[in-house]
Chains A and B, each alone.
Chain A
């Protein structure tokens, strides 16, 4: 607790950085694509969009709206989809009209439960077409490729483990 500088605390941007980050920077004379950390951080600090993770595949946009609208007026929700099956794969983006409302969601929703799962929220640079799809090899999120636990809400075992199990079962 510091009395002297009002810190953002839990609503500060986290240490996580999206490795796929790309942005178009417009200058007076030029526009170019960058993946720079500074640009990414600038966007994160201005954004009113959140990445929401660790959702069940069964959690709907309606449920997410119900929970997150308790923190402010929601502009839109983009559900994360399996790249191949086009079904929900356990994450979404929630965009608010204001940064303050998004901050409130990080403060009060992050770490609480939805559909009996602990919801994780983090700042996002803002939704771009294409980012709604899982980046894992099998179409879902990368974390669901490598998981070794059995998670009923996220399609059972991780994809790699599941593939190892299946041939044995068929014997």
Chain B
């Protein structure tokens, strides 16, 4: 039994050991051979695990299996499925080719999402760097046939999703290629090079004489399981590129974008990150000890892969802080590579004009975090041009968002002092509460008296009820217009600004104030108009402190003082127009959508579980198995109530999206109308920010948007729209969605926004409609 852990460790140790790989493998093979009769299952399990978790080392394990197979035919018969095993003479080339054929045949299936065929083709293409040469030598004709089928497939694929996934709007200086297109180009390259590549380690070459005598296995027929709605396939991606050979010192050439070595290195680096992403120090160390580190510009390639993960759309596969903290570890381990990271930052900065808004936001968040770990030192002077242009342009906007995030991690004076004088306009103003009832010239303000009474009362620890009594004195300005005002703006203004002012010392003070006067806030903000008014008052107090607004909105939502829809309406309101393109507004927007989704998910899970419990219990009773009164089983009424509640929040969620899209349409329509009347180009910096935020909402919440697409369509483009316009819109959507059958949710939406013009078209339809009717917007 003592030997058992030994073989596991031996498997690991050969990776670390300094003596030659070949001699280690030979030693290990003889150890394992002795153990085989007793621990066969265990050894196979460990080998499978090694292959799955360390695919970049697969050649080591295939060689090992090859050696074992040559000694003991029975063993190899049970390890399947590795293309490399063909190289090691374990598997017959022809049977692997048959497997590949089965995979590629998936492309001929009807009515399947494209992601399914993509995935099977990818599996084949990704194995070819290893086994291509062998297949070419042994089965040239059949192999050729396979490649022709793949080529046909690649050329007829839909790629409507690509623009939505690209980090940059422009293919200059580097094309942002779709992953399968790129890999196919790389494979075609290595094919024209007679399948010879320079990256894969092939330890079995040394054992050729032994291996060629072994008995080979034929893989059993493996047919891919047929498609059903439940199966999820990986989503397509776009290959992120920021460097080519001109960026890298001459002595180390970076493989070209269509060289198979580029793919192999990137794949390997991504895999290291995936394996070690929970341990940033190990991750950095593993990346820097890359096997062929001396032959490639490793620092550049790591930087490119790391930023590729950070900017991946719609969402980064890892927490952004994982990328950030690992980059810090890389800098610590390799102080030399700081210049590379600075160079990368410069390049990203230079390419900001065509970078997508969500990526600019992630870039700014990362950069501020990175600077906070390096004393906020940066050569800002190099960027001083950005202080001379329209502050809504990407570069000045990026800088001011970075400085804002730096401020959140530090303090105002520090950030002010860390940038040159010319940058002062981009430094955010010092965050502080603005309490108008104590400012000069406040004497004329209605409600002033009550505000001062409230200040006194709350300071001397009055009860919530007492504040309501004081507020009774305040007249409602809305009362003149209507008999039943929806809310009381002045009361809300007086109370909320006074409360926030008193709690302004810190987050905790504000939270405590909200908690104590929860009842008052809830009473004042009963209607949605009241809630929006409350949020506007908060903005008036805290407009210089976005972070405070982010956490306060979060708290108001969690304590159910305001609803998600009120937050969305507030963010789109005219009062927020000045801040509308600032990142914090979208931080609030996304967190609001996210909170709503979490809530729906939770209720859905609860309702489903309760329903299952009840059904199981009913079945038991029907079968006469259980007559005990079980406390845990919910009653029919309870389950129904849960389901009603779920339906209610699902409707709220639907309404939230509806509001967001309606408001987008309105502000875009306004913009287009204004530009037209002033004969201006509508492609302004503002327009770019807004249209890309709209795309971001579509893309980031694509699953939900898709779920509600029919309702959204029918409600957004209601029957009072001219019937012809409606038809055109519906037709547009049909075209966009039916021509592609990619994964059930994502691509339908993506196809609608794959290029700007779909939404531009939509907005133009609305615009024409709005003009023709010379009426208000469609919202009401």
Q: Give the B-binding residues of A (Cβ under 8 A).
A: 1-4, 9-11, 58, 60-63, 65-67, 70-71, 76-79, 104, 107-109, 112-116
The answer to whether B508 and A9 have CB atoms under 8 Å apart is no
- B341 at the binding interface (Cβ < 8 Å): no
17 contacts between A and B (CB under 8 A): A1-B282, A3-B11, A3-B50, A4-B49, A10-B279, A60-B506, A61-B507, A62-B548, A63-B410, A70-B365, A70-B369, A77-B507, A79-B508, A108-B319, A112-B328, A112-B373, A113-B373
The answer to whether B12 and A115 have CB atoms under 8 Å apart is no
A71 to B128, CA, bound (A): 39
State which size class the interface on B falls in. Answer: 35 or more
Contact residues in A for B280 (Cβ distance below 8 Å): 107-108
Q: Shortest beta-carbon distance, A105 to chain B, in Å?
A: 9
The answer to whether A61 and B50 have CB atoms under 8 Å apart is no
8 Å CB contact of B410 from A2, A4, A70, A115: A115
The answer to whether A109 and B508 have CB atoms under 8 Å apart is no
Q: Given A63-B408, A65-B547, do A70 and B320 touch, yes or no (CB 8 Å)?
A: yes
A62 to B54, CA, bound (A): 42
The answer to whether A62 and B408 have CB atoms under 8 Å apart is yes
Contact residues in B for A79 (Cβ distance below 8 Å): 506, 508
The answer to whether B50 and A77 have CB atoms under 8 Å apart is no
Q: Give the A-binding residues of B (Cβ under 8 A).
A: 8, 11-12, 46, 49-50, 53-54, 278-282, 319-322, 324-325, 328, 365, 369, 372-373, 375, 405, 408-411, 506-508, 511, 547-548, 551
- By Cβ-Cβ distance, the 6 closest A-B pairs, closest first, are A66-B408, A70-B321, A108-B325, A113-B373, A108-B321, A61-B506
A65 to B53, CA, bound (A): 36
Q: Shortest beta-carbon distance, B632 to chain A, in Å?
A: 18
DSSP majority for the A interface? mixed
The answer to whether B278 and A61 have CB atoms under 8 Å apart is no
Residue picked from B54, B507, B547, most chain A C-beta under 10 Å: B507
Q: Shortest beta-carbon distance, B17 to chain A, in Å?
A: 14
A151 to B261, CA, bound (A): 51
Q: Shortest beta-carbon distance, B768 to chain A, in Å?
A: 44
Task: Identify the closest chain A residue to B375 (Cβ).
Answer: A116
Inter-chain pairs besides A76-B511, A107-B278, 15 sampled, C-beta below 8 Å: A1-B12, A3-B11, A3-B50, A58-B411, A61-B506, A62-B547, A65-B507, A70-B319, A107-B279, A107-B322, A108-B322, A109-B321, A112-B325, A112-B373, A114-B409
A61 to B409, CA, bound (A): 10
Q: Given A9-B279, A62-B506, do A3 and B325 touch, yes or no (CB 8 Å)?
A: no
Contact residues in B for A11 (Cβ distance below 8 Å): 278
Contact residues in A for B279 (Cβ distance below 8 Å): 9-10, 107
The answer to whether A63 and B508 have CB atoms under 8 Å apart is no
Contact residues in B for A65 (Cβ distance below 8 Å): 507, 547, 551
A171 to B409, CA, bound (A): 42
Contact residues in B for A114 (Cβ distance below 8 Å): 372, 409
Contact residues in B for A58 (Cβ distance below 8 Å): 411
Q: Given A66-B408, A114-B372, do A4 and B322 touch, yes or no (CB 8 Å)?
A: no
A81 to B53, CA, bound (A): 47
8 Å CB contact of A66 from B278, B319, B322, B409: B409
Residue picked from B282, B506, B511, most chain A C-beta under 10 Å: B506
Q: Given A108-B322, A109-B325, do A4 and B409 touch, yes or no (CB 8 Å)?
A: no
A70 to B328, CA, bound (A): 16
The answer to whether A9 and B278 have CB atoms under 8 Å apart is yes
A65 to B408, CA, bound (A): 9
Contact residues in A for B8 (Cβ distance below 8 Å): 3-4
Contact residues in B for A67 (Cβ distance below 8 Å): 409
Task: Identify the closest chain A residue to B431 (Cβ).
Answer: A62
Contact residues in B for A63 (Cβ distance below 8 Å): 408-411
Task: Identify the closest chain B residue to A105 (Cβ).
Answer: B321
The answer to whether A3 and B278 have CB atoms under 8 Å apart is no
Contact residues in B for A116 (Cβ distance below 8 Å): 375
Contact residues in B for A70 (Cβ distance below 8 Å): 319-321, 365, 369
The answer to whether B49 and A113 have CB atoms under 8 Å apart is no
8 Å CB contact of B508 from A66, A71, A77, A107: A77
Q: Shortest beta-carbon distance, A102 to chain B, in Å?
A: 13
Task: Identify the closest chain B residue to A71 (Cβ).
Answer: B321
A108 to B325, CA, bound (A): 6
A51 to B446, CA, bound (A): 47
A2 to B548, CA, bound (A): 44
Q: Shortest beta-carbon distance, A167 to chain B, in Å?
A: 35
Contact residues in A for B507 (Cβ distance below 8 Å): 61-62, 65, 77
A145 to B116, CA, bound (A): 65
Contact residues in A for B506 (Cβ distance below 8 Å): 60-62, 79
Q: Shortest beta-carbon distance, B401 to chain A, in Å?
A: 14
A58 to B372, CA, bound (A): 16
A60 to B325, CA, bound (A): 21
The answer to whether A104 and B410 have CB atoms under 8 Å apart is no
Contact residues in A for B322 (Cβ distance below 8 Å): 104, 107-108
Q: Shortest beta-carbon distance, B200 to chain A, in Å?
A: 22
A115 to B325, CA, bound (A): 16
A62 to B409, CA, bound (A): 8
Q: Shortest beta-carbon distance, B178 to chain A, in Å?
A: 31
Task: Identify the closest chain A residue to B53 (Cβ).
Answer: A3
The answer to whether B12 and A3 have CB atoms under 8 Å apart is yes
Contact residues in B for A4 (Cβ distance below 8 Å): 8, 46, 49
Contact residues in B for A115 (Cβ distance below 8 Å): 410
Contact residues in B for A60 (Cβ distance below 8 Å): 411, 506
Q: Shortest beta-carbon distance, A29 to chain B, in Å?
A: 20
A83 to B645, CA, bound (A): 47
Contact residues in A for B321 (Cβ distance below 8 Å): 70-71, 104, 108-109
A67 to B551, CA, bound (A): 13
A95 to B565, CA, bound (A): 28
Q: Given A61-B508, A77-B507, do A66 and B325 touch, yes or no (CB 8 Å)?
A: no
A66 to B511, CA, bound (A): 16
A2 to B373, CA, bound (A): 31
The answer to whether A71 and B409 have CB atoms under 8 Å apart is no
A108 to B284, CA, bound (A): 13
Q: Shortest beta-carbon distance, A100 to chain B, in Å?
A: 11
Contact residues in A for B511 (Cβ distance below 8 Å): 76
Task: Identify the closest chain A residue to B275 (Cβ).
Answer: A1
Contact residues in B for A1 (Cβ distance below 8 Å): 12, 282
Q: Shortest beta-carbon distance, B510 to chain A, in Å?
A: 10
Residue picked from A58, A60, A78, A112, most chain B C-beta under 10 Å: A112
A10 to B329, CA, bound (A): 15
Contact residues in A for B547 (Cβ distance below 8 Å): 62, 65-66
A78 to B8, CA, bound (A): 46
Contact residues in A for B409 (Cβ distance below 8 Å): 63, 66-67, 114
A83 to B333, CA, bound (A): 40
A1 to B16, CA, bound (A): 11
Q: Shortest beta-carbon distance, A41 to chain B, in Å?
A: 22
A126 to B53, CA, bound (A): 36
Task: Identify the closest chain B residue to A68 (Cβ).
Answer: B321
Contact residues in A for B372 (Cβ distance below 8 Å): 113-114
A76 to B506, CA, bound (A): 12
Task: Identify the closest chain B residue to A115 (Cβ).
Answer: B410
A2 to B319, CA, bound (A): 24
Contact residues in A for B11 (Cβ distance below 8 Å): 3
